[in-house]
Chains A and B, each alone.
Chain A
Amino acid sequence: MTTARSTTRPPVPPSGTTGTTVSPVRLAWLHLRYQFLETVRVPIAVIGNAVFPSLAMLFFVVPQSEVAGDPQIATMAVAGLGLFAVCSASLFTYGLGVAEDRALPFDPFLRSLPAGPGPRLVARVGNGAAFALIGLIPLIVVAWLFTAAAVTTVQLVAGVGMILAASVPFVLLGMGVGYSLTAKAALPVVQVILFPLAFAGGLFLPPVMFPYWMDTLSQATPTRAGRDLLVQALTGAEANPWAWPVLLGWTVLFAALAVWAYRRDEGRRFR
């Protein structure tokens, strides 16, 4: 819609009775608690999320002894799958979840409460991170029990921190999709985004197997940047110096997309 902005009058100072809104930090915490509560009340969502990466590990990595038996390669495989699981959870939870939420009649009600978009977005990111962590636990257990993957405690903590940082752009991208599209459109769009990005980022096949041109292209993707940084955190293998700028650049871009999409969205569209 290209139309005149709504309010043309100068802003009026709030009258004495209007008061101030609840602090954004408290609101974010409030939304985080209730989003978490809503999610855990549907156990299958939690279980599916927690089981998927470890199952993939069991089926695709553990049986290949040349991968599972080599500490370095096994750790890289765990890193790739772990990051894929987190990316996939982020894109699906936010892309699809937000699009579905928007179709619910409770959403316009929430938007009428005296809170801006910030607290809800922050809570969604936090909630996504919490469930990503829950999903990583069985993956780490499987990797520890059945493969030669080995990390020190410090590396493990660094790796978990890194995977959470790497998930942020995907959460934001998911929200951008979710606030722009209907649930029906969001599903294929998320799939079209996720799988090429995961493949090009070396989450399924290690990038050493890529031809030169593809390796170069891959460096520019957020998945590759996240993967390289994660592998660096877990194994000490030096990442491309461009990995951080690439990851942060995508994060800023997707954050802008998410905020733009939220502002533009007015709930369900009517035709």
Chain B
Amino acid sequence: MSVIEVDGVTRRFGEVVALDDVSLDVGAGELVGLLGPNGAGKSTLLSLISGQRRPDVGTVRLMGGDPRDAPSRISLGITPQETGLPATLKVREVVDFVAGHFPRPVPTGELLDQFGLTEMARKQTGALSGGQKRRLAVALSLVGNPRVVLLDEPTTGLDVGARQALWDAIRRYHAGGGTVLLTSHYLEEVQALAERVVVIDHGVVRADDSLDAILRRVALRRVVLTVKDDLSAWPGVVRVEQVGVTGADGATRQELFTPDADALVRDLVRADVDFRDLEIRGASLEEAFAEMVAAESPLEGATR
């Protein structure tokens, strides 16, 4: 059964189209990373799934029901933004308060223990450090024993240790059968956690595939050279981009994307292709990702 079903959803804010005909299906037990730059529409999508907003067009189902109906949200956990915790309430009080909304909550003591917050239980949330607030925020998403959690940038701004600890907590939840949809603009985070990756940009789903397939897609080398021939059909070349104007001699500066730069260059030399100014660069994940979401180069245009 699908835990989350988003079908042909469009959502506008005034003139801005935040989501444009987005469809997404998340099954029970999946761990899906939603990846995209700031303003891509990730948070809008989460707010539709959690019933805070309604789509202009299309349908959103959560556990088979309308997320705007409270009973559909019993199995849902989300993180508050850390800056939004009620500053005058104590940690234990916030957890108890949120737990009170659920029929079968995790005992507060157990949850605080699991997130290393036991010693902070009597502190007002306003007195917590950034890392502690993050931990509390993620803890709050799990307090109701949810079957699905939405994590919006769960570790943004955390140091390495704190991030690892939170990742472990998310993995534990997932290992116990939980479904996770997490957003991040850090590839690293998605890479560490997700099994499936959805790339979203300008309100459009650019890619939806397994983590491995996405990595293969973005983990390409770039071979830049100036050559007369059109190399887009060359074996091993995934995609070509023209990066300069055609010169007087008819040669063009081209950028070839390939999984194996060494093999490609050997082939070109062996075939006596007349190229010059060879340059080889590794497309880093970040770079490749940036390219993936750039509006000018839709992935669909890639030759595979």
Residues of A at the B interface (CB closer than 8 Å) are 1, 3-9, 11-12, 14-15, 17-22, 26-27, 30, 34, 37-38, 41-42, 104-109, 111-116, 266-267, 269-271
Contacts and interface: CB of A to CB of B under 8 A. Distances in A.
Contact of B52 (A22, A38, A112, A269): A112
B60 A6 contact: yes
B89 interface: yes
A114 B77 CA distance: 10
Given A6-B55, A27-B100, A105-B84, A34 B89 contact: yes
B97 interface: yes
Interface of B: 1, 13-14, 16, 47, 50-61, 63-66, 68, 70-76, 78-81, 83-86, 88-89, 93, 97-98, 100-104, 124, 140, 144, 147
Interface of A is mostly: loop
Contacts of B58: 6
Contacts, number: 135
A7 B66 contact: yes
A18 B93 contact: no
B259 to A, nearest CB: 41
Given A11-B65, A266-B47, 6 more contacts: A6-B54, A37-B89, A112-B76, A113-B144, A114-B74, A271-B13
B103 A22 contact: yes
A260 to B, nearest CB: 15
Contacts of A15: 1, 63-64
Given A41-B88, A105-B83, A18 B72 contact: yes
B64 A12 contact: yes
B74 A18 contact: yes
Contacts of B75: 17-18
A3 B100 contact: no
B70 A21 contact: yes
A270 B65 contact: no
B88 A21 contact: no
B70 A266 contact: no
Given A6-B68, A38-B88, A114 B102 contact: yes
A115 B80 CA distance: 16
A37 B87 CA distance: 12
Contacts of A34: 89, 93, 97
B86 A38 contact: yes
